[in-house]
Amino acid sequence: MRMKNAALIVLAGLAAVPTVWIGWSAWSLRAEISGREDAVVADARDRAASFDAAAMQSLPAPVRRYFDFVFPDGPPVDIVSVAVDMSGEFRRPLMEKFEPTTARQVASTRKPDLVFSADTPIIGPVWAVAYDIFVDGEMEMGAKLLSTLRVVDEKGTPELNRISLRRWLLESPAWPMALLPGGPVEWQPIDDRHARAVVSAYGFQAAMIATFRDDGSLAAFDAEEDGDLTTPYHGSGEHTVRSDYRLVEGVRIPMSFMIARAADGEIHPFWEGRITSIRFIRD
C-alpha cells in the first residue's frame, strides 16, 4: 500500500510539472509584453507635443470635418498614449475559420510605436498568445502555443517594418490625436469624401486612403496596393471599417471595427470585434 501511495504521489508530481511550466511561461510572456507596453508609454511621456494648430485650416475639407467630429471640445494634445482592450472573432492566416479572441493594444500618439497582443484558441483547450510589436522602426512578431512553444517568430525587414508602420496608421482611428497636423501624419486632398493619410517615420513611409461619412466620421482606411494573401501573417491588413462612435473623455472613438486583407478587388476579413475598454494616458 505504501509503495502504491508513493507511486501515486510521484505520478501526481510529474503531472504537475507541465502545469507549473505552462503557468510560469504564461506569466513570463505576459510580463515581457507588459514591459514593452510600459516602455512605449514612458517614451511617449518624454516627448513634447507637436500639434500645429495653425495648420488645421489648411487641411483637406473632409479631414477638418473629421477633427471637428472626433474632438467636439478641441484636440486633447496632452494624451501621449492609449491602451485599448478588444474582443471579437479572429481568423488566422491561411485559414477560414474564425475563433473568439481577446486582444490588447498600447500605442503612442506621438510617434508610430505600438504593442499588440492577443489570446486565441487553437484546438480544444490549446490556446496561443500572439504579439506584434513595432518600436523605434523595428518590428517583432511572434506566437506561442500555451505561452510556451514558439510557432511564429518574425523579425523586422524593410518590408515588414513598412507594413508595421502602416499598421499603426490603420489602427489610428482609436487614437485620432495622432493624426493631427504637426505629428508624423500628413494629409493630402482627394475629394470631398476622401483624403490620403501619409505617415513618415524611421526612414519609412506608408499611406492609406481615408473615406469619411457625411457626419464627419472616418468610415474606412484602404491601402492603395494589393496585399499578398499567401504570407503566414496578416501584417497590417489593407482595409478597415470603423463604426459606432462613442464619446470617451471628450474624444469620439469608433467602438466597432473590421480589419481585412484585400487583393484583386476582394475583401477578406480576419479580425472583427469591438473595443471593450479604452484608456487615455496623459502628460
Over residues 163-189, the pLDDT tens digits come to 999 999 999 999 999 999 999 999 999
Whether 283 maps to a domain, the answer reads: no
Domain count, the chain: 1
Distance CA 157, CA 234 (A): 15
Residue from 65, 57, 63 nearest 215 by CA = 65
Range of the domain at 169: 2-275
Whether 237 maps to a domain, the answer reads: yes
The grid cell for 243 is 463604426
pTM, 2 dp: 0.87
For 128-138, the pLDDT digits (tens) are: 788 899 999 99
Q: Yes or no: say if 195 and 60 are a contact pair by the CB < 8 Å rule.
A: yes
Residue 26 has pLDDT above 90, yes or no: no
Whether 67 maps to a domain, the answer reads: yes
For 238-276, the pLDDT digits (tens) are: 999 999 999 999 999 999 999 999 999 999 999 999 999
The grid cell for 253 is 472613438
Whether 266 maps to a domain, the answer reads: yes
What number is the average pLDDT over the span 39-60? 95
Whether 281 maps to a domain, the answer reads: no
Whether 108 maps to a domain, the answer reads: yes
Whether 280 maps to a domain, the answer reads: no
Whether 282 maps to a domain, the answer reads: no
Residue 8 has pLDDT above 80, yes or no: no
Residue from 261, 236, 271, 262 nearest 164 by CA = 236
- Count of C-beta atoms within a 10 Å radius of residue 136: 12
Would you state the torsion angle of the CA atoms of residues 95, 137, 185, 223, taken in this order, to the nearest 10 degrees?
Answer: -30
